[in-house]
Amino acid sequence: MNATALVLGLATAAVLCAQTPPDFSGVYYPIAPFGRFVGGPAAGASQRQGPPPKPTASAPLADGSRGRRPDEPSLTTEYMAKWQMISKTLIAGSSEFDPTAKCLPPGMPAMMSMFYGMEVMQNKGKITFFSELNDALRRVYLDGRKPAQKVLDDPTYAGYSTGHWEGDTLVVDTVAIRDDTFIEGFTPHSGEMTVQERIRLLSPGLMEDKITVTDPKALTKPWETVKTYRRATRESGTDELREFACPEGLSEAK
Amino acid sequence: MKLQNTLLGLIAGVVMLQAQSATPDFSGVYYPIAPFGRFAGGPAAGASQRQGPPPKPTASAPLSDGSRGRSPDAPSLTPEYMAKWEAISKTRIAGSSEYDLTAKCLPPGMPAMMNMAYGMEVMQNKDKITFFSELNDALRRVYLDGRKPSQKVLDDPTYAGYSMGHWEGDTLVVETVALRDNTFIEGFTPHSDQMTVHERIRLKEPGLLEDRITVTDPKALTKPWESTKTYRKATREKENDELREFACPEGLGEAK
């Protein structure tokens, strides 16, 4: 009888425990960071003859010289013209529009799409995502706060993120993002872009981020993408990110 | 009786949960108290201009270019490293930031990064504690899971170095190795690649974090240098608990 009561009490404590959200803390690496190129030429395929394919064909080249992939964000006329202008500078070999080449943070949502490591730290009030590329920190506030007007008036690369738990899924809204970053690749966006994410553990050590980007000025429809990341283990020897210190290269280049 | 036992069970469960988090939680955003130290010997604010030649080294040093010598509580340098310091001081007096890492948007490095006038954001879990310096967006990790640096890490020093910590009661004891030799201990006091940093970090009271730092460097220092920093935790009510992205290279791009 006493034992039953003890078990009951422990069970209550276990339920209290179960209500705590999952812990995303750890070092992660993206799986297939560049996506799957369904339309691209197979590795080792013979060189393509004739003119480059029209836009909306597959685009395995990062400078956009083969146009845009069908799964890339669908741009309004104004922002397609911006993209074409940026593409020209990239084809010409310029990194004028590339923030990461200037050691600047990749910005949201591109920073969730990088092929470098990502370090997550989490507590009850906050979760932080640290991008190994260019040492960029992103904070998601979980304590119900909202951005001050001062924050909204002063956008940043990472933006201002607020999140809440829906069961085991972290739902995050990001606003106040600078308009000179890219959605992915070098797809431009406006100052009205917002990012919604649903982050969860698909299985232990496998994190999924379902990203929806909305931008009434730059996008003809919201753009959706799903990223997955595998957690590094201590045994693999890959769970220690190294300091990037990007400006080292800048001072050498001067 | 039955109720009593249920309560007993509940208490046992809660105690088990509590035991998992017996160590103090340093998480939060902090600002240093008196980041530049207390200059006991310096001229009072508003004092009349000093006449005559600049004072000898070891006098008080309120000027950051070293033109008034070194503060008596600055690290005690060997002749070789005092000569280095003087060389760097000359470039600073001449207006150069050649040796100033932070002016190049590089991380301040350890232990200087614990000594900055900007905010510091701490995140903590069982295995790791991170210190993020608002100045130049620099992250420092302290591993708490008993790991040691690999040879690869030791051969490839960083600004923040490699830090390992363990709890002694409510105090976090941290050892930092594998530090680059082109950073400064504080101000622009140079050091060698043999420098190691020992810290004892604790909450003096809720919201008041103390870091007792001991820097050892057999090549650059005549004796270990000790310094104590205190930081006050920001609160949501004061609206100063959100650090802003620094993005230092923005300024570099403009300067080009």
pLDDT over 90 (residue B227): yes
**Are the Cβ atoms of A5 and B6 closer than 8 angstroms?**
yes
Q: Looking at beta carbons, which residues of chain A come within 8 Å of B156?
A: 242
CA–CA gap between residue A200 and residue A210 (Å, rounded): 9
Residue of chain B whose Cα is closest to the Cα of A245: B106
Query: Which residues are registered as beta bridge partners of A139?
Result: A128
Query: Which residues are registered as beta bridge partners of B228?
Result: B212
Nearest to B32 by CA among B231, B235, B238: B231
Q: Which of A105, A128, A135 is facing B138, going by the closest CB pair?
A: A135
* Burial zone of B142 (CB within 10 Å; 0-12 exposed, 13-18 middle, 19+ buried): buried
Residue of chain B whose Cα is closest to the Cα of A143: B236
**Are the Cβ atoms of B13 and A103 closer than 8 angstroms?**
no
CA–CA gap between residue A232 and residue A46 (Å, rounded): 37
Token pair listed for B99: 């040796």
Token pair listed for A81: 């013209």
| CATH number belonging to the domain at A99-231, selected among 1.20.1740, 2.40.128, 2.60.40, 3.40.50 | 2.40.128
Segment A100-108 shows an average pLDDT of 93
Enter the pTM of the model.
Answer: 0.83
Percentage, residues of chain A above pLDDT 90: 67
Task: For chain A, give every domain's residue range.
Answer: 99-231
**Are the Cβ atoms of A5 and B159 closer than 8 angstroms?**
no
Percentage, residues of chain B above pLDDT 90: 66
Residue of chain A whose Cα is closest to the Cα of B146: A234
Query: Which residues are registered as beta bridge partners of B142?
Result: B129, B163
Residue A240: band (very low, low, confident or very high) from pLDDT cuts 50, 70, 90: very high
Which A residues 73-102 touch B at CB under 8 Å? 102
Q: Which residue has the tokens 């995502």?
A: A129
Question: What is the predicted pLDDT for the residue at B67?
Answer: 75
Cα Rg for chain A, rounded, in angstroms? 21
ipTM of this complex: 0.82
Question: What is the predicted pLDDT for the residue at B101?
Answer: 86
Q: How many CB atoms lie within 10 A of CB B19?
A: 8
* Burial zone of A147 (CB within 10 Å; 0-12 exposed, 13-18 middle, 19+ buried): middle
pLDDT over 80 (residue B218): yes
CA–CA gap between residue B143 and residue B176 (Å, rounded): 10
Q: Looking at beta carbons, which residues of chain B come within 8 Å of A104?
A: 247, 249-250, 253
Q: How far is CA B66 from CA B69, B118, B192, in A?
A: 5, 22, 20
Q: Which of A38-42, A233-237, B78-82, B113-117 has the lowest mean pLDDT?
A: A38-42
Residue of chain B whose Cα is closest to the Cα of A20: B17
Contact of B228 with chain A, judged by CB distance below 8 Å, is answered with no
Contact of B146 with chain A, judged by CB distance below 8 Å, is answered with no
Instruction: Read off the pLDDT of residues A32-75 as tens digits, 9 standing for 90 and up.
Output: 755 544 433 334 344 444 554 444 444 446 777 778 888 899 99
Q: Quick one: residue A44, left, alpha or beta (phi over 0 = left, psi -120 to 50 = alpha)?
A: left
**Are the Cβ atoms of B13 and A136 closer than 8 angstroms?**
no
- Tell me the shortest Cα–Cα distance from B7 to chain A, in angstroms: 7
- Tell me the shortest Cα–Cα distance from A124 to chain B, in angstroms: 10
Contact of A9 with chain B, judged by CB distance below 8 Å, is answered with yes
Q: Looking at beta carbons, which residues of chain B come within 8 Å of A251?
A: 104, 106
Token pair listed for B243: 């650090």
